[in-house]
Amino acid sequence: MQTQIAFDKRSYRRRSIVECLIGWLKESRRIVTRFEKTAINFGGMVKLAFIHRYFRILGL
């Protein structure tokens, strides 16, 4: 006998957004391979990747 699992569309949408974000971050080699060894420098590179992505979306 199988039990029915409730499907929460809102939660699934949030999960999808996070999975797409992680997939996009994996495209950045410097972030994936973690060239930066300190947490502060790594966080800075993640922020820089977001800024770069934002400018690409804007077409700048």
18 in a structural domain: yes
Domain residues for the domain of 29 are 9-58
Per-10-residue mean pLDDT of the chain, 60 residues long, equals 77 84 79 81 86 84
The per-residue b/e assignment along 11-50, b for 16 or more CB within 10 angstroms, e otherwise, is eeeeeeeeeeeeeeeeebeebeeeeeeeeeeeeeeeeebe
Question: Is residue 28, in this structure, part of any structural domain at all?
Answer: yes
Assess if residue 3 is contained within a domain: no
Q: What is the pTM of this model?
A: 0.56
